[in-house]
Chains A and B, each alone.
Chain A
Amino acid sequence: MRWMWIDRVIELVPRTRLVAIKNVSLAEEHLHDHFAADIGRGLPATPVMPASLVVEGLAQTGGILVGHASGFAYNVVLAKVGKFELTRDVFPGATLRYTATAERFDDAGASIRGEVAMLDHARAAEGFVTIGSIELIFSHLNNSMVAGAGLENLPAHNFVFGESFKSLLRNSGFGEA
């Protein structure tokens, strides 16, 4: 079981762009704590998707794009979050659309620009409205990079892109990853 923060991939242009959808649901338990009602202070429950999970969704979207580019030959890890901006709160019932665009690939990793747009179904006529952006750097993790860091002997299999991500791509209609 893996922490999946995207529900479906809707567009994949290899090495160029990947677009994914996340439906925010009140069934997600953390939303009941973020933020719970504070009776003493008279504050009602206010479920808001944590911005850190928006970052995670963007990172997963970008990570699949980077992993796909090498046929999932590398363990792709998020190495750096550059600027991140989120201008609106995200509430249950909203749909988020994450767009990851590749800016640069090389043997060491990749630089990705991400954008998040929100569809508020109560204002469906407005369509998706851009509410944030991010800069991400991904690194291809290998044994030589972690030598000396007490992390020798990484698992031989690809431990970043396991079955969950492959199923997600397959179920989104993008074939066998």
Chain B
Amino acid sequence: MTRADIEAKVRGVLVDALAVDDEDVTLKASLVRDLGAESIDFLDIVFKLEQAFGFKIGEGELFPNSFAQDPKFVSAGKVTGDGVAFLKQRMPKLDLSSFEKDPSVSKVPGLFTVEMIVDFVEKKLGTH
């Protein structure tokens, strides 16, 4: 499956899960800010990706959903240094420079982009 094929399928999943227009699903689009995703949509997206690509996604494997409950990563509503390192390792292409000035945990979902999902799927299919 080529990268373009993966992008097309991911776009289809997001159009379906978030009821957005195809052209709004650009690689740089933020799932929360640009596409209006809410917390439960992340679970929906995971389920739909599994169906579309035929693999299983472990809990927290794509979206670090237990991240906020881990005191090592989040303290008093702010992401710790360890937490930022974890996010960087998880999403290497992410530009965290503005996030690091005010690393509120509530801003973490806003960091997730369409490209992050495409990268995730590509990596997952490659290591299958």
Contacts and interface: CB of A to CB of B under 8 A. Distances in A.
Interface residues on B, range: 10 to 19
Contact of A108 (B17, B41, B50, B65): B65
22 contacts: A79-B40, A79-B43, A80-B40, A80-B41, A80-B44, A82-B44, A103-B47, A104-B51, A106-B59, A107-B59, A108-B43, A108-B59, A108-B65, A109-B43, A111-B43, A111-B44, A137-B40, A137-B43, A137-B47, A139-B40, A139-B43, A144-B69
Q: Would you call the interface of chain B mostly helix, strand, loop, or mixed? A: helix
Interface in B38-65: 40-41, 43-44, 47, 50-51, 59, 65
Interface residue tally on A, bucketed by range: 10 to 19
Contacts of B16: 82
Interface of B: 16-17, 40-41, 43-44, 47, 50-51, 59, 65, 69
Nearest to B69: A144
A104 to B, nearest CB: 5
Interface in A58-105: 79-80, 82, 103-104
Contacts of B59: 106-108
Contacts of B44: 80, 82, 111, 137
Contacts of B65: 108
A103 B59 CA distance: 16
A79 B16 CA distance: 16
A144 B65 CA distance: 11
B47 A111 contact: yes
Contacts of A107: 59
Identify the 10 closest CB pairs spanning chains A and B, nearest first: A79-B40, A111-B47, A104-B47, A80-B40, A137-B44, A144-B69, A108-B43, A107-B59, A109-B43, A80-B44
Interface string A102-129: 0110111101000000000000000000
